[in-house]
Amino acid sequence: MADRWITDRAPSKRWPHYTRANAGEVLSSSASPLSQQFCWENGILLGWRDGYVRGGNYTFDEFTDGEPEVCGFFAGYFYINLANVRMQAVRSPLLTVEQLDLAFFGDHPEVPPYEAHPLDERPDLVEGILAHLGFVMTTTSIPEVDAEKELTIALRAGRPDLTSLSDAGLLARARMLQPMLRKLFDSHTPPSSDSAIAPGVLGAVCAAIGQPETAMKLIAGIGEVDSAEPSYRMWELSRAANASAAVSKEFAAGVTGLLGRLRASSDAGAKKWVADFDQFLVEFGSRGPNEWEISADTWETKPEIALAAIDRIRLQSDAESPTSRNKRMADERRRLTDEVRALVKPLGEELAGQFEGALVAANQMAIRERTKTNIIRALHEVRMVFRELGRRRAAEGSLADPHHVFALLESELDQFLFDGASMKDTLAQRHAQWQELQKLEPPFFIKNGVVPPLSEYKKKGQGSATKAVVGDVVQGVPGCTGVYVGRARVVLDPSDPGELEPGDVLIAPNTDPAWTPLFMSCGAVVVNVGAAISHAIIVSRELGLPCVVSATDATLRIVSGSLIEVNGDTGAVTVLEVPA
C-alpha cells in the first residue's frame, strides 16, 4: 500500500493541528471513499463552514474554496481541526482556550498548546459573537431545527420503492440529498459549538461559590434529547417482550434468526410485537454503530443490532425505567439550581446573570442532538440508495461484491453508471486496500501538519497498557454525577454486548447513539475518550447514570469482570477486585 490513501488531502498550513477527540465518536473507522467525498466533502463540510460563519466566529475568506479546513481525513480517518475550532474561544469574550479544550477534547495529556497566530484575533467579529451569545443565552428552541426534524421524518416516510428506480434515478435521488446534508449541517454547527458554553460558564460560576463539582449536575436531565428517544422506545419493546410468553421464548432461543421466528409465529402477541418493532425501524432504523459512514449497517439494514440491545435491556428490572431515572436527575437538577441561585445572588448581578444565561444555554445540547439526528436520517437515505445500486450491480456481475460500490470516488459515479463492468477489478482492489486501513490505529493527534506515512501506523491492538490491579485508579473526566460500584464489562462493539448484565459497568472505547440502549442495561458508564459535550455524557445525564469519559485506555487496562467504583463527581475509576 502507498504511504498516502487515495482520498487524503494535505493538512492546513493555517490551522495545522487535528484531533480524533470527539471525531472518533462520529466516524470510528476509516471512511469509505464514497462516503468521504459524496457525503462529507461535498455536503457536510460545506455546511460546517457555513454554520461556523453564521455563528459569528469566522468569515468565508478564511477558508480555502472547496476544501474548508474545519476537519481532515487522513488514511480515511476523520479528524476535527483542533486549531481551527479554537478560534471560537480566542475570539469570544466569554470563553478561554482552556475551557474549550476541556469541553471538546477532555483532559488528554497530549493536547498541543495554543500558540497565537497573527490572524487569530478578530476584533471586528466581537459584536457579532456577542449578539450570537445573547441569542444562545435566551433561546430554548430553534423553529428551523424543529421544521427540519419534520422534513427528515417525511423524507423517510416518502422514500420511493428503490428497487423500482433506474440506476440513473437512484443517482439522481442521492444527488438531490447532497445539498440537504449541507443545509442540515449548517443548522447543526452553531448549536454543536454552542454546547460548550453552558459547561464552561457554569464551571466558572460554580467555582466562584466553591462548588466546582456541581456544574455538571446543573445540566443533567434536561429532556427532549432526540438521541435518547430510541432507547425509551427500546425499553417499551423490552417490557412488551417480557409480557409475552411467545416473544420471551424466542428471545431466550437467541438473537440469530429471532426476527424470522417471530414473523413466522401465529401467536397474537408475537405478531403485535413484530409490528411494533417494524414501526420502530421505520422511525429509528437510520441509527447504528457507525451511522455517519454510509457503508455501515444500521438498525434497518441489520435489525439484529437493535435486537441484541433489546435482549440485554429486557433483563433489567422495571424499577430501572429510563423515565424514572430521568425524573430523578431532573428533580436533582432543579433542587441544585435553586441552591446555587441563592448562593450566587449575593455575589452580584453580573455573576447571577451569567448563571441564568448558562442555564438557558444548556438547551443547546438538546438542540445539538436534534440536529445530529436530522442529519443521520438524511444520510441514511443516501446509504439506502447506494446499497440498492451496489446490490443490483453485483447481481448482474459488474461488481464482485455489493459493498464495493462504496469504494467509488464521487468523480467516478457517472462512469460507473455508464460502464461499471470496466471498473470491477479496480473497485475490488481499492475496497481491499480500504479494509486494510481498518486495521490501522490512527494517531490521536496530528500536530503541526505532520501526517505520518501509512507504513508508520501501528496496527490496532498492538498498543501496550498495563492491566489495572486492586487499588489502581484509572483517572478520567467527570461526566455524570454519582458513585457506583459494580462489575466491569468491556464491550468493544454495541452489536455484541456479550455478557453485559443489569448492574454491570459498561467500559467502552467511545460511544454514539447505537450504544445508548446498552446504557439502560448497566449501572454506570466509562469511556476511553470524550469530553463535556460527548454523546456518552449527554445521554448518561438523561438516564441518570454515573459516567466517566476520557479514561485513557480503560478498555485495555480494566479487566472485564473486575469490581470497580465509578465516581462520576471526580472522574476516578478505582479497581476494588480483579477476577482470578
Q: What is the DSSP letter of 297?
A: -
State the distance between the two ends of the chain, measured CA to CA, in whole angstroms.
Answer: 43
Cα 81 from Cα 309, distance rounded (Å): 34
Q: How far apart are CA 120 and CA 559, in angstroms?
A: 45
One-letter-per-residue 3-state SS of 504-525: EEEEECCCCHHHHHHHCCEEEE
Q: How far apart are CA 195 and CA 293, in angstroms?
A: 24
pLDDT score recorded for residue 105: 65
pLDDT tens digits, one per residue of 91-137: 988 778 887 787 666 666 788 999 999 999 999 999 999 999 899 99
- Is residue 539 very low, low, confident or very high in pLDDT (cuts 50, 70, 90)? confident
Q: Are the CB atoms for 3 and 453 separated by under 8 Å? A: yes
Q: Give Cα separations from 92 to 62, 131, 168 (angstroms).
A: 17, 11, 48
**Whether residue 485 has pLDDT greater than 70:** yes
Domain boundaries, the chain: 1-136+442-459, 473-577
User: What's the pLDDT tens digit per position in 48-87?
Assistant: 999 999 999 999 999 987 789 999 999 999 999 999 999 9
Residues 566, 505: contact at Cβ < 8 Å? yes
CA atoms of 568 and 84, how far apart (whole Å): 30
pLDDT for residue 415 is more than 80: yes
Q: Beta strands of 13-139 (E only): which ranges?
A: 18-19, 71-74, 77-81
pLDDT of 405 higher than 70: yes
User: For position 106, what pLDDT does the model report?
Assistant: 61
How far are the Cα atoms of 42, 236, 284, 374 from residue 241, in angstroms, in the given order? 43, 9, 19, 29
pLDDT tens digits for 313-345? 998 888 888 888 888 888 888 999 999 999 999
pLDDT digits (tens, 9 = 90+) for 184-230: 999 999 998 888 788 888 988 999 999 988 887 888 777 778 878 88
Can you give the pTM of this predicted structure? 0.91
Residue 450: half-sphere exposure toward Cβ, Cα within 13 Å: 4
The CA distances from residue 185 to 48, 52, 181, 364, in Å, are 6, 10, 6, 15
CA–CA dist 330, 543 (Å, integer) = 10
Q: Which residues contact 491 (CB under 8 A, 6 or more apart)?
A: 497, 498, 500, 506, 507, 508, 518
Which has the closest alpha carbon to 322: 148, 520, 508, 165? 520
pLDDT at 531: 66
Residues near 160 by beta carbon (within 8 Å), at least 6 away in sequence: 173
Partner residues linked to 343 by β-bridges: none
CA atoms within 13 A on the CB side of 279: 9
| CATH fold for domain 473-577 | Glucose Oxidase; domain 1 (3.50.30)
**Mean pLDDT computed over 435-452:** 94
Which amino acid makes up residue 3? D
Of 172 and 461, the one with more pLDDT: 172
399 and 386 Cβ atoms separated by less than 8 Å: no
User: What pLDDT score was predicted for residue 477?
Assistant: 82
pLDDT for 155: 97
pLDDT (mean) for 488-498: 87
Query: Which 3 state secondary structure label does DSSP give 201?
Result: helix
Residue 100 has a pLDDT of: 79
Give the pLDDT band (50/70/90) at residue 561: very high
The count of other CB atoms within 10 Å of the CB of residue 275 is 10
CA torsion, points 405, 409, 415, 417, in degrees to nearest 10? 30
Alpha helices in 118-196 (DSSP H): 126-136, 143-157, 167-194
